[in-house]
C-alpha cells in the first residue's frame, strides 16, 4: 500500500499558495488544445495539449484497451472505490472525464432507478461511445454531457456527488474548471477525486513525467476554488493512487 503524506501536507500547501503563476498564457481551441493568447492567470493552461491524443482518429478503440485493462489499479479496485463513494438511490452523480465508461455501469447501479448519472467528457468520439455503451447496457439513467476544457457543462446546483478517477492531471485549466465543478454541486455536495501519486523517489519515472501535480498541489488548487478537504479515504488498498473527499 502507498505511504501516507501525513502532517507535511499542510506545510506543502502553504508553500504552494505563495508560488507564482506560470508565465505561459493559452486559450482552449475546439479540439481541446491550447494556442498562445492574452489571458488572465486563471485561464492559463497548466499543460497545453495534454489531451490532444484523445482527439486523434481511432482513439476510442486504442484507449479502451488501456483505460479498462484489468491490471490497471483503479480497474482492479473498482468495487472498493465505488463502495467508498457511499452512493444512495436517487442521487445525482457526475462522472467527470468518463472516458470510455469504465465506471458508468457501477455508478448507475449505485444510484438506482430514481437516480441519475452524468457521464461527462470533452472528446466527441468518447461521447458517442458513452451514448452507445449506455444504450447497449440498458443504462437508462445515464445522461452523456459534453464539457469543455474550462467548464463541466452542468447546471448550477444540480449534482450531489462528482467523481473524478485518474482525470485531474488532464485538467488543463484547473482554476476555472474546478470552479465550474463547485458551482454545479448542490450545497454540501461532495467532490471525490482518485488520482495518481507523484512522489519523487517512489513514483515511476514514467508517471512522474505523465502527472504534473503532487497531492499537495491538487489540494491547494481545489480548495482555492471554495472546496473544503474533508478527508482522505484510506481503506482502499492503493499502491499508485490516493482518494480524497472534498465538500462544498
Q: Which tens digit of pLDDT belongs to each residue from 222-235?
A: 999 999 999 999 99
Could you tell me the residue ranges of all domains in the chain?
8-15+71-247
Higher pLDDT, 68 or 3: 68
Is residue 14 predicted with pLDDT exceeding 50? no
pLDDT band at 184, cuts 50/70/90? very high
Look at strands 228-232 and 241-247 and give their pairing: antiparallel
Q: What is the pLDDT of residue 75?
A: 95
User: pLDDT tens, 89-114?
Assistant: 999 999 999 999 999 999 999 999 99
Distinct helix (H) and strand (E) counts, the chain: 9, 9
In this prediction, residue 118 carries a pLDDT of 98
Question: Which pLDDT score is estimated for 205?
Answer: 94
Model pTM score: 0.84
Residue 141 CA, distance from chain mean position: 21
Residue 1 pLDDT more than 80? no
CATH superfamily for domain 8-15+71-247: Vaccinia Virus protein VP39 (3.40.50.150)
For residues 126 and 170, give the distance between their C-alpha atoms in angstroms, rounded to a whole number: 15
Output the 3-class SS for 150-215: CECCCCCCCEEEEEEECCHHHCCCHHHHHHHHHHHEEEEEEEEEEEECCCCCCCCHHHHHHCCCCH
CA-to-CA distance for 78 and 82, rounded, in angstroms? 6
User: Using CA atoms, how far apart are residues 189 and 207, in angstroms rounded to an integer?
Assistant: 31
Amino acid at each position: 500500500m502507498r505511504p501516507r503524506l501525513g502532517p507535511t501536507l499542510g506545510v506543502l500547501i502553504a508553500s504552494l499558495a505563495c508560488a507564482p503563476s506560470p508565465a505561459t498564457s493559452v486559450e482552449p481551441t475546439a479540439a481541446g488544445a491550447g494556442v498562445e493568447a492574452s489571458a488572465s492567470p486563471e485561464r492559463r493552461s497548466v499543460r497545453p495539449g495534454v489531451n490532444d491524443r484523445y482527439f486523434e482518429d481511432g482513439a476510442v478503440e486504442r484507449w479502451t484497451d488501456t483505460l479498462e485493462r484489468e491490471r490497471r489499479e483503479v480497474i482492479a479496485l473498482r468495487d472498493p472505490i465505488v463502495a467508498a463513494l457511499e452512493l444512495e438511490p436517487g442521487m445525482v452523480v457526475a462522472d467527470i472525464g468518463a472516458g470510455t465508461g469504465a465506471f458508468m455501469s457501477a455508478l448507475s447501479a449505485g444510484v438506482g432507478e430514481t437516480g441519475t448519472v452524468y457521464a461527462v467528457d470533452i472528446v466527441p468520439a468518447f461521447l458517442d461511445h458513452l451514448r452507445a455503451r449506455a444504450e447497449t447496457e440498458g443504462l437508462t439513467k445515464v445522461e452523456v454531457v459534453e464539457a469543455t476544457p474550462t467548464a463541466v457543462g452542468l447546471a448550477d446546483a444540480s449534482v450531489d456527488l462528482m467523481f473524478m478517477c485518474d482525470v485531474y492531471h488532464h485538467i488543463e485549466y484547473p482554476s476555472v474548471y474546478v470552479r465550474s465543478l463547485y458551482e454545479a454541486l448542490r450545497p454540501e455536495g461532495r467532490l471525490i477525486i482518485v488520482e495518481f501519486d507523484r512522489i519523487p523517489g517512489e513514483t515511476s519515472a514514467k508517471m512522474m513525467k505523465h502527472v504534473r501535480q503532487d497531492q499537495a498541489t491538487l489540494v491547494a488548487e481545489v480548495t482555492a476554488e471554495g472546496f473544503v478537504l474533508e478527508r482522505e479515504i484510506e481503506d482502499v488498498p492503493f499502491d499508485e493512487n490516493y482518494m480524497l473527499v472534498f465538500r462544498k
